[in-house]
Amino acid sequence: MSRIGVYPGTFDPVTLGHMDIIRRGATLVDRLVIGVTTNPSKSPMFTLDERMETVRREVAGVPGDITVVAFDSLLMDFAVREGAKVIVRGLRAVADFEYEYQMAGMNQQINRSVETVFLMADVALQPIASRLVKEIALYGGDVSKFVTPAVCADLVARVAMIGRKGS
């Protein structure tokens, strides 16, 4: 029986921090399912289809059995549907830990057979957050330190399409 893990997120956009967790998470399981979801409390810059395509493009060269799947349900229902026994989550700071700890506890109450595993972000990548990357891009800032060149180009193109703030 293979070990399947789920790494959920909105990935709007996928950052170098996400990629670090994907690379490392893929070594812990036989198959890593990246679950791209919508979050009603967030305003995405990219559509679900665009985010799916971007994540697929970005993980194409990452070693391991990695699939990218959209979902719009409770995480635990998605994990069960994918046959996962592990949820992979990245932690950047204490604030992340508090939120993720609470979510892990709630998820455990929903389904005790799926375990949450936390991976600490690489120290150099800890400050990266998709929300901040989008904000920097919207104000015309350089985001090349936070995302791959292809994602940087996607952001520049999207900002040009929707109009840059502050101009």
Single out the catalytic residue among 3, 31, 51, 92: 92
104 vs 138: CA distance, rounded Å: 33
Residue 130 labeled ligand binder: yes
145 tagged catalytic = no
Residue 13 labeled ligand binder: no
Name residue 79's amino acid. A
CA-nearest of 11, 149, 131 to 69 is: 11
24 tagged catalytic = no
Residue 2 labeled ligand binder: no
Residue 116 labeled ligand binder: no
Residue 56 labeled ligand binder: no
92 tagged catalytic = yes
Single out the catalytic residue among 3, 42, 164, 165: 42
Tokens linked to 137: 């891009």
- 3, 29 Cβ separation under 8 angstroms: yes
Residue 100 labeled ligand binder: yes
41 tagged catalytic = no
63 vs 42: CA distance, rounded Å: 31
**Angle, nearest 10°, between helix axes 149-162 and 130-138?**
50
Residue 126 labeled ligand binder: yes
Task: Output the known binding site.
Answer: 10-11, 18, 42, 75, 89-92, 100, 125-131
Please identify every residue annotated as catalytic: 18, 42, 92, 130
Residues of the binding site for ATP: 10-11, 18, 90-92, 100, 125-131
Residue ranges of the annotated binding site for substrate are 10, 42, 75, 89
